[in-house]
Amino acid sequence: MRDRRDPSRQDLREKLSKLGIQGGGIRALMLLPLVYVAWADGKMDGVEVEKIRRIARERLNLGKESEQALERWLRERPTRLDVQEGLEGLVDLAFDDEVFDIDVSELPDLVMHSEAIARATGEALDDPMAVSPEENRALKEIAELLQVDGGDTWEDVLDELRSKASPSTAS
């Protein structure tokens, strides 16, 4: 157990405050991967905004304080450093025995939810081929920061399956 006065806890509190997360809003950190992917191409599409809000409401059980942070991130793109520090803090909280708001088992789901955001476009709400190269890089970065294996998109998986299924030209 870490002491509550531990400098790393104070550092985390400062990072959270910089991200606009106060008090019980620490679950807002779970939205950072989704927001990061949505902003990866430089813009936030209406389809992405609605999908993020739906995931936040229906799957991540966020409170009012978390919703406030989300609305700000939907208007203003968080910096890459903010996202990196936020996700590192999220992992620390997930592995902290004293923190009950966030569990390690939720981290892989965040990569999956992030890919769902990447696949959301104005033309198709769930197109595996709609993931842009910028979103693909963001997904891999998120998986690495969250210490989750993979980070491959469905497009990557489908491409790999297609390459294995194509007949060999070697004799």
Domain ranges, ordered by start, for the chain? 8-165
Q: Using one digit for the tens of pLDDT, what is the confidence trace for 32-54?
A: 999 999 999 999 989 999 999 99
**Cβ 111 vs Cβ 139: under 8 Å:** yes
The confidence band for 67, taking pLDDT boundaries of 50, 70 and 90, is confident
Q: Using one digit for the tens of pLDDT, what is the confidence trace for 139-156?
A: 999 999 998 875 455 455
The confidence band for 114, taking pLDDT boundaries of 50, 70 and 90, is very high
DSSP symbols for the chain = ---TT-HHHHHHHHHHHHTT--TTGGGGGGGHHHHHHHHTTSS--HHHHHHHHHHHHHTS---HHHHHHHHHHHHSPPPHHHHHHHHHHHHHHHT-TT--S--GGGHHHHHHHHHHHHH--SS-SS-GGG--HHHHHHHHHHHHHTT-S----HHHHHHHHHHHHSPP---
